[in-house]
């Protein structure tokens, strides 16, 4: 397997400084115009300044690591550089402010990344990293973290929307962290403005840009960048409030999607992402604890299906209308319409049906239209969902639930994951029957 080497720089560089030796040079927190190089995170330090509170060196260094991983994942296409068109081998040289803080966790972090993306990762930490941003930039509107007691990821999806509303109902004061890729910010802002209660906002965009051909679209490591931004916010809150413990960092994701068990035997690899898998989150928490970062990752919906989340939330008619404006589809950017037939869209449709809430979402096609489509890629997700829902013996369910990675040894936790997998498939099956696709 060939090795993909990337060297990251905290300062600008010119053509004579390019590493060569099949190494890609990447600028962290800045831009570069040198052909054959790339950059990521240019506006992120200014975004962090808007928190108006100082995060720790360890938290900011973790963000630097996450950005480097995101860059490597984005800039090196699997189809070209991966073994059998999939697994890649990476060697990253990353400058940090305090490399010694992360050196003892390096091996554990490499294993977490291996699990997350299905690639092989080798990390080298050097000195000379970008220092953490200043506390406040008076030229821009800032967040008010005084009195904030938690952090919640806010993607603009249905789960994250329910998550923040549940926090507000419980009189919590969250800061909502959004990783706003191009096109995401608009609908995230619209949903945010319709919330009832105090919720602060922290929005950033890594904006990876390459000055050479080729990119990868699988983005298996996208969650580490999202979580790293939330870690920066949580650590800042802990220090601002002089909190003695850790600040809750909520990852609001239904357990069926978080587990993301393969629907068929051929979908174990590329189509079974692990962005919020329990093993990934628990191992990442251990690494953060060892570095002294004061954030506690929690998924309060890990044992709930999307349908159960929506049913428990019990939206009134106005809230049901807002729920329809959330985005679950991974393909919506192509036409600004949720396709209606990918796995997330199918689970979303089934959730509204299970909760007894009228689904006012505008979809690009019905499931029947997808099945009858000439393009095999359009019908594949629906057919795979049908196969999974029909093959629901206890043995098959547990085998698939364990296929994406280890589950907790605690009996109650483990049973909760098995149960949510079974209940999620049941929700889908019931919706399929309502559409005449199953008997």
- Specify the 3-state DSSP secondary structure of 254: coil
Does CATH number 3.40.50.2300 belong to domain 150-203+221-298? Answer: no
- Distance (Å, whole) CA 390 – CA 378: 20
Q: In 3D, which of 160, 129, 154, 108 has the Cα closest to residue 290?
A: 108
HEC states along 19-83?
CECCEEEEEECCCCCCCCCEEECCCHHHHHHCCCCCCCHHHHHHHHHHHHHHHHHHHCCHHHHCE
Question: Which DSSP string do the residues of 304-330 spell out, in sequence order?
Answer: --HHHHHHHH---HHHHHHHTTS---T
Given a contact cutoff of 8 angstroms between Cβ atoms, the answer to whether 56 and 46 are in contact is no
Of 49-63, 124-138, 231-245, 301-315, the least confident:
124-138
pLDDT at position 269: 46
pLDDT of residue 409 exceeding 70, the answer is yes
Q: Which helix (H) or strand (E) holds 424?
A: helix 411-434
382 contacts: CB under 8 Å, gap ≥ 6: 341, 346, 367, 370, 371, 437
Contacts of 171 (CB under 8 A, 6+ apart): 197
Extract the tokens encoding 435: 């559409």
Question: What average pLDDT does the structure give for the chain?
Answer: 90
- 248: pLDDT confidence band, cut at 50, 70 and 90? very high
| pTM value surpassing 0.95 | no
**For the residues 219-244, what does the mean pLDDT come to?**
88
Chain centroid to CA 192: how far?
19
The mean-pLDDT minimum among 142-146, 191-195, 218-222, 285-289 falls in 218-222
pLDDT at res. 265: 65
Which DSSP letter does residue 334 get? G
Triad 131, 132, 136: Cα angle to 5°: 130
Q: What percent of the chain has pLDDT over 70?
A: 90
Mean pLDDT of 368-390: 91
- Range of lowest pLDDT (136-150, 152-166, 392-406): 136-150
**In the structure encoding, which two tokens stand for residue 22, read together?**
């099949």
Asked if residues 176 and 164 have their Cβ atoms less than 8 Å apart, the reply is yes
CB 246 within 8 A of CB 296: yes
Ordered by start, the domain boundaries in the chain are 3-43+50-126, 150-203+221-298, 306-434
pLDDT at 10 over 90: yes
Which pLDDT band holds residue 207 (cuts at 50, 70, 90)? Answer: confident
Q: Average pLDDT for residues 433-437, to the nearest whole number?
A: 95
Instruction: Calculate the alpha carbon distances from 60 to 29, 49, 98, 165, 230 in Å.
Output: 12, 12, 10, 29, 11
Max mean pLDDT range (3-12, 294-303, 388-397): 294-303
Q: What is the pLDDT of residue 116?
A: 93
The gap between the terminal CA atoms of the chain, to the nearest Å, is 47
Position 216 scores a pLDDT of 54
**Per-residue model confidence (pLDDT) at position 81:** 59
Long-range pairs, 313-320, Cβ under 8 A, ≥24: 313/162, 313/165, 313/166, 315/357, 319/165, 320/357, 320/358, 320/360
The pLDDT assigned to 34 comes to 85
What are the tokens at 76? 């090196």
Residue 218 pLDDT > 80: no
Q: What is the pLDDT of residues 317-357, one digit of tens each?
A: 999 999 999 999 977 766 789 999 999 999 999 999 999 99
Residue matched to tokens 């831009």? 31
**What 3-state class would DSSP assign to 3?**
strand
């Amino acid at each position: 397997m060939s090795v993909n080497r990337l060297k990251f720089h905290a300062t600008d560089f010119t053509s004579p400084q390019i590493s060569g030796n099949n190494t890609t040079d990447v600028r962290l927190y800045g831009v570069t115009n040198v052909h054959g190089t790339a950059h990521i995170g240019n506006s992120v330090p200014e975004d962090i300044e808007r928190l108006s509170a100082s995060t720790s060196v360890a938290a900011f260094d973790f963000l630097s690591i996450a950005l480097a991983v995101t860059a490597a994942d984005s800039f090196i296409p699997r189809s070209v550089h991966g073994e059998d068109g999939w697994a890649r081998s990476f060697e990253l040289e990353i400058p940090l402010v305090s490399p010694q803080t992360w050196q003892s966790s390096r091996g554990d972090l490499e294993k977490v990344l291996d699990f997350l993306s299905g690639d092989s990762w080798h990390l080298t930490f050097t000195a000379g990293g970008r220092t953490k941003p200043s506390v406040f930039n008076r030229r821009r509107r800032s967040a008010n973290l005084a009195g904030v007691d938690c952090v919640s990821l806010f993607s603009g999806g249905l789960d994250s929307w329910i998550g923040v509303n549940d926090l507000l109902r419980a009189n919590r004061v969250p800061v909502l962290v959004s990783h706003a890729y191009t096109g995401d910010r608009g609908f995230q802002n619209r949903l945010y403005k319709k919330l009832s209660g105090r919720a602060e906002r922290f929005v950033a965009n890594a904006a990876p840009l390459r000055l050479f051909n080729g990119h990868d679209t699988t983005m298996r490591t996208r969650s580490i960048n999202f979580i790293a931004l939330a870690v920066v916010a949580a650590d800042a809150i802990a220090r601002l409030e002089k909190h003695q413990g850790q600040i809750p960092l909520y990852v609001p994701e239904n357990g069926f999607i978080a587990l993301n068990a393969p629907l068929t035997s051929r979908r174990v690899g590329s189509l079974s992402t692990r962005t919020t898998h329990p093993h990934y989150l628990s191992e990442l928490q251990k690494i953060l604890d060892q570095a002294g970062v004061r954030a506690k990752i929690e998924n309060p919906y890990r044992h709930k299906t999307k349908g159960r989340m929506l049913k428990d939330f019990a939206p009134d008619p106005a809230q049901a209308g807002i729920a329809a404006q959330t985005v679950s589809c991974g393909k919506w950017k192509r036409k600004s319409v949720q396709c209606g037939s990918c796995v997330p869209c199918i689970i979303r449709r089934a959730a509204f049906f299970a909760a007894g809430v009228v689904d006012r979402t505008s979809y690009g096609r019905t499931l029947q239209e997808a099945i009858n489509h000439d393009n095999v890629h359009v019908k594949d997700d629906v057919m795979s969902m049908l196969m999974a829902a029909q093959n629901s013996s206890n043995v098959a369910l547990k085998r698939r639930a364990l296929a994406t990675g280890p589950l907790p040894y605690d009996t109650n936790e483990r049973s909760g994951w098995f149960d949510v997998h079974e209940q999620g498939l049941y929700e889908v099956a019931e919706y399929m029957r309502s559409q005449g696709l199953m008997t």
